[in-house]
Amino acid sequence: MSIAFFPGCTLSTKAAGYDISGRAVAQALGMAFEELADWQCCGATFPLATDNTMALIAPTRLLVQAQKAGGHVTTLCAICFHVLRRTQHILEHQPEMLERINWFTEEPYQGGARVSHFLELLREEFTWGALSGRVTQPLKGLKVAPYYGCLLLRPQAEIGLDNPDEPAILHDCLAALGCEVVDFPYQTECCGSYLAVSKPDLPEKLAHDILTSARRNGANAVVTACPLCQFNLDYAQRKEIRHTLEDTLPVLYFTQVMAVALGLDQDVWGMDKHYVDPLFLFSDLR
């Protein structure tokens, strides 16, 4: 079985590790990703000005591609997911907006495309129980803090993936993989997002608070579903590599943990470009 997949710009470059591990894991579970034939950047932000129709054209075009690929598209990048899900929602509720956007797209969007995040497919279609059954590599000693960030969950009314106050989807995924899951209070606090470009001190400070909280609650790794969260949390520790590894917290994508747990080969773990090298976490598995 194959599912239409939209990687997005960052997965194709800076977040290649997410892409490699994601595709490998999906393949291993029998849900091989079939990349959309034609795609472009989703825009990376959902337009918040009510009259900004321009910024909706790119994601609508992606929904058209999804339509052509059978009507259902999956994402890994939390931001792509956020943009597409909210675009689909607004077009469904504002037909005048849809009509206007269709003037600008090469092919009109008919409506009704389904946008999911890979975590949803795992939860609803594959199921956590089945995932547990596929684990061949116990992850001894891995104490993972699931970090959700913001855009995977909010706003709840339009995204509807999980409860932003008490999310469980990453917890459940990691628990199904046999990790010890560490709850910590900063799991939905913002990493600073695109301020990495304009005000880099802010993400550095926010990342520090998030990582400190995760560490204080006993985590030895942080898991995320967003390339920007991964970057902000990882990059903030770049100077700490010179100190002992006990001070650092590797920041992994959930698909990377899945790749290890499902016993896949190390070359699909995608762990070679982190600022804090996560490989030492898995060294005793060999």
Partner 1 sequence: MRTRISVDSVRGEFVHQIETISGQSLLACNQCGKCSAGCPVAFSTDILPNQVIRLAQLGIDDVLDSQTIWSCAACLTCVSRCPKGIDLPRVMEAMRQLKMERDGNQIETTDLSPEMVAEVPQLALIGGFRKYMT
Partner 2 sequence: MIQRALVIGAGIAGIQAALDIANSGYEVVLVEKEPSIGGHMAQLSETFPTLDCSQCIMTPRTVEVGHHENIRLYTYSELESVTRSESNGDFMVRIRRKAAYVDWSLCTGCGVCQEKCPFKVESSFERGIGPRKVVYTLSPQAVPNKPVIDAINCRYLQSKWDIETGRLPAVDKKGNPAQPRCGACAKFCPTGAVNWNQKDEVFEESVGAIVVATGYDLFPQARLPEYGGGNIPDVIDGLAFERLLAASGPTAGKVLRPSDGKTPKEVVFVQCSGSRDPERGVPYCSKICCMYIAKQAILYKHRVPDGQAYVFYIDVRAGGKGYEEFLNRAQEEDGVIYLRGKVSRLFRDGDKVMVKGADTLSNRTVEIAADLVVLATAVIAHTGSRRVAEMLGLATDENDFFTARNEELDPVVSRMPGVFLAGAALGPKDIPETVAQASGAAAKVLGMFQREKLSAVSVQL
- Contacts with partner 2 by CB under 8 A lie at 163, 165-166, 185, 216
Q: What angle do CA 28, 230, 238 make, to 5 degrees?
A: 125
In whole angstroms, how close is the CB of 218 to partner 2 at the nearest point?
12
Strands (DSSP E) found in 185-279: 221-224, 251-253
Buried b vs exposed e over 142-166: b needs ≥16 C-beta within 10 Å?
A: bbbbbbbbbbbbbeeeebebbeeee
For partner 1 (CB under 8 A), the number of binding residues is 44
The reply to whether 282 sits near partner 1 by the rule CB under 8 A is no
**Which is closer to partner 2, CB of 208 or CB of 216?**
216
Query: Are the C-beta atoms of 210 and 224 separated by less than 8 Å?
Result: no
Considering only 3, 31, 44, 66, the residue that binds partner 1 (CB under 8 A) is 44
C-beta atoms surrounding 202 within 10 Å: 16
The reply to whether 45 sits near partner 1 by the rule CB under 8 A is yes
In whole angstroms, how close is the CB of 169 to partner 1 at the nearest point?
17
In whole angstroms, how close is the CB of 216 to partner 2 at the nearest point?
8
In whole angstroms, how close is the CB of 280 to partner 1 at the nearest point?
23
Strands (DSSP E) found in the chain: 2-6, 32-35, 72-75, 114-117, 143-146, 180-181, 221-224, 251-253
What residues line the site for partner 1 (CB under 8 A)? 8-10, 13-15, 41, 43-45, 47-51, 55, 77, 79, 150-151, 154-156, 164, 188-190, 192-202, 205-206, 227-228, 231, 235
